[in-house]
Structure 1
């Protein structure tokens, strides 16, 4: 095994330890991952932009500081990361997977971007995504689909499929995604990685190009629970530039993850949501879920069946609220100030330029959601559609409140199926929307949720995820449960699930 291969196999925590002890340099680690991207990304297409020179320069700064006797800027200083192309970056393009922003370079950094830089995290580049974060498969990117490293004929989930695929392909040890209805957790489930949606307001949205402002939330993606926790503490925290940011201490998620790795869940009550799972779910997903419940019980957790009756309406309500906010947010792309501009005629009016630009610049799924949202907000339909959907949202939040009055966390499958073939559902929006069936309720209520690998489906050998949901700002108990479950699965499987990725095994 080559040195480069050894490096890309290490966890972020292991890499950080080696870099900070100067056993290996941050430049060596960064170069190993850049070499890996060159080797496999033509088959995976996880990245839209690779920032090789800036990444190596940032890594060199970390090495110079350590050589000068300075302490690491953070526990992850020098560790490479893949950043979803929805966060503003002043030194590289931010396209949101859309032609309407092709080549656009923001004049500022998002708060998440800035915090990563201050922490000494090395940004390798920007990852592919469904256009403006609208999709569940990363097939709606204007720059072509991303492929699942487990089987490159299949989807990597969405909208953050590029970030998840970069982890599963060992192109990066860490990544950042955003989660509006499952866009971190669902890709994590189908790629055998870890994905976390923090409490709404727990991670700043300043500089995150908005899809649906009341639902969007940035969060960490990793190959282990501890790595996700380390990244979580880097990016989380109050930001006065975000009016929805929560001014409260960041939950002690790293401490919780380390404690949970001991495998003791005695005294914790785990709620099994009766509305999520069972009939309609892929049998292998259901089997993995039931096995996961047995594992949690073996660790000492008490399983309690919990009913959240309004979860069954979450999908319908979400696809009224989200398009409504999309139709408002995307109105800013008017061809007047930045981005694409199409001139249908030399003397075209502003309205004609806007229409021609949006026709050329937006993809079909984005147009579909803009039209749905505009209709739902239109005169005579607002109360019947958008208003009712918001009432359902309140009922879903009440279901969570009642459930968390009985248990510490809730669990469910993360996605109803394993990764499906590219192209299978792209022309069937309703079938595509069902991929977020389990993940949407947490976004509607704003509480914390995450996905951890729970095994491989026997039928296709593809990963399955377990979703763990916690109350708002309850990330610590969520990470504790996730780390305990991960440790138990690793012990039973003889190692991490991700080390058995098969689609690219000849090149790993």
Structure 2
């Protein structure tokens, strides 16, 4: 076995040229699932033999993800595996169809290895539920994060090379940090939401519900090992599908054509009055200094709209009726776990006027942030206010993700990239926020940090390339 840091782009070129056998990467992933999943509990179901057979028979020509093993968070519909959302109310339920993003990965030649664990209905900063139990981080004793924690653990342990998660208030960005990966929250509307679960009983599993607050801000996006991998996957899963009414046909720029010296950055470490750990502050300062060294123009101080964003996010999230989950709870009473029951019970019921005022306030502060965040500009801030720790018993510790929650409100693209290491050994990431549909700016700055990073990825975080022979 030869260990070489390469990108998905490199790997698919080797598969297409015959340097790697069609099933070489999938064989390696199957081996890791067999040897590591029993301990980590990252995947809740897998395709083993079917994935190998599919890889052997796959077409090499012209497919951008030929032979790449990938995994999917158990919140996205899949045709041939159950989609349970980590809930006993959906135990063994199958959508019978692939979410649009999953279907596009498979059409691009990627091989689905399995579904990854998440907190029930993706509502938690740690990954545990009453159906499948707890997921553990392959890098250390700290949490794998939530809600895409199983996905992060699967990729970090080599069970897949890239994966799909979803992000409401940090559910891609935080697990990516916990596992030393890169995670991308795309612009709302970049990737179709078709196939996100749960859906109402009897409804079309690929249908998109009427816009609640969660529907308005939650996105599907990738987690992986490198900045380049994020661009490769995003280019595959982007674009309208005729199902999701807010998915748009917006060109995706190439981050390699963006010069960090042309970008103006504003940065900060604190959102609202939430305390921030000194190691997180140090990491943001390191990232800012690294970007300054690469010629990026930086200015201290985040736009005030970001602080407003956290408050409005919290109010709108608390007012979300969670109607689909409530309907599942009514249909199968007594099966939903205590953390989600508590969230259902804590929902506020604002009047129509108050609700309209909150949505109007959101529109106003989005407009304010866009007044500055336009063109070749970006923000740098933490992903979380603390470093990754053991969060057993704290699945609902959402204030931890204050910086990510604040950014979610705006629907702008945001990248989580690891740049430093805590004294505990846990990775610490920063969050790069770009203007709408300018993921290329975030990725360009992420690539600059990837080169300057003091976070040394171990071999478990690199693509492992089987010998060609």
Deviation, 1:40, is 1.3
* 2:340 is equivalent to residue 366 of structure 1: yes
Task: Find the counterpart in structure 2 of residue 135 from structure 1.
Answer: 124
Deviation, 1:85, is 0.8
Task: Indicate the structure (1 or 2) with the bigger Cα radius of gyration.
Answer: 1
Paired with 1:395 and 1:140, the residues of 2 have a C-alpha distance of 38
Deviation, 1:406, is 8.4
After superposition, residues 43-192 of structure 1 pair within 5 angstroms as 43-62=39-58, 65-66=59-60, 71-73=61-63, 75-140=64-129, 142-151=131-140, 153-192=141-180
After superposition, residues 87-486 of structure 1 pair within 5 angstroms as 87-140=76-129, 142-151=131-140, 153-209=141-197, 212-249=214-251, 251-252=252-253, 255-256=254-255, 258-259=256-257, 265-273=260-268, 275-276=270-271, 280-333=275-328, 354=330, 357-360=332-335, 362-373=336-347, 375-377=348-350, 381-384=351-354, 386-405=355-374, 408-423=377-392, 425-426=394-395, 429=396, 432-457=397-422, 459-486=423-450
Paired with 1:330 and 1:12, the residues of 2 have a C-alpha distance of 36
* Matched residue SS, 2:216: coil
Task: Find the counterpart in structure 1 of residue 20 from structure 2.
Answer: 24
Paired with 2:107 and 2:376, the residues of 1 have a C-alpha distance of 38
Deviation, 1:291, is 0.8
Larger % of helix: which?
1
Report the RMSD for the aligned CA atoms in angstroms: 2.4
Deviation, 1:410, is 0.7
Deviation, 1:388, is 4.6
Instruction: Report the TM-score when normalising by structure 2.
Output: 0.89
- Structure 2 unaligned blocks of 5 or more: 199-211, 462-469
Paired with 2:231 and 2:375, the residues of 1 have a C-alpha distance of 26
Deviation, 1:366, is 1.9
Paired with 1:329 and 1:311, the residues of 2 have a C-alpha distance of 30
* Matched residue SS, 1:266: helix
After superposition, residues 479-498 of structure 1 pair within 5 angstroms as 479-489=443-453, 493=454, 497-498=456-457
Deviation, 1:316, is 4.1
Q: What per-residue deviation string (whole Å, max 9, x for no partner) do you get for residues 245-297 of structure 1?
A: 11333x12xx31x346xxx5222111114644997211111111111110000
* Matched residue SS, 2:424: coil
Alpha carbons of 1:484 and 1:259: their partners in 2 closer, same or farther (altered >3 Å)? farther
